[in-house]
Amino acid sequence: MKKYPLAVCGDHPEIHFEVRTAARLARVSETFILQCEREELVASRTMLHGQKGLCAADVRKLKLVRHLHEDMGLDLEAVDLVLRYRNRIRALESHLADAEQQWRRKVQKHRAEIRTLQQRLAQLSESS
């Protein structure tokens, strides 16, 4: 028997772990996973063989939830809030990075226009 059996989920292309395996990987109980599902922190899917499973991303998320819940002492509602703010911060950081890139492109465009105008001005000065 393999230590961490894998199974493919019928409705999702990513590999999924059976709940008991996901619990071992994340170092939580299966009951804890069910609590997290009720709080909508993770979502299990029915795999091809009929068992419920969690994707690798949800297993990683469970590890974070466990840390926030057990090590930091937050209840699951607070964990949900932290995760939502964390996602929002990431989205804002991405938006800011996009805005900065657009700004840099505009600066480069304006600098090129300024150089073109300086060259035209120099040519006009030389011809007069």
pLDDT of residue 15: 81
* CA distances for 28 relative to 10, 25, 65, 71, angstroms: 25, 8, 10, 13
Give the chain's domain count.
Answer: 2
Q: Are residues 125 and 79 in the same domain?
A: yes
pLDDT of residue 13: 61
Q: Are residues 5 and 57 in the same domain?
A: yes
Domain containing residue 56: CATH number: 1.10.1660.10
Instruction: Please state the pTM of the whole predicted model.
Output: 0.69
* CA distances for 125 relative to 115, 116, 121, 128, angstroms: 15, 14, 6, 5
Asked if residue 92 lies in contact with residue 84, where contact means CB atoms within 8 angstroms, the answer is no
Q: What is the pLDDT of residues 80-125, one digit of tens each?
A: 999 999 999 999 999 999 999 999 999 999 999 999 999 999 998 8
Q: Are residues 63 and 84 in the same domain?
A: no
Q: Are residues 88 and 104 in the same domain?
A: yes
| Interatomic CA distance for residues 103 and 79, integer angstroms | 36
Q: What is the pLDDT of residues 46-73, one digit of tens each?
A: 888 788 899 989 999 999 999 999 999 9
* Residue span of the structural domain in which 51 resides: 1-73
pLDDT of residue 68: 96
Q: Are residues 65 and 26 in the same domain?
A: yes
Q: Are residues 118 and 98 in the same domain?
A: yes
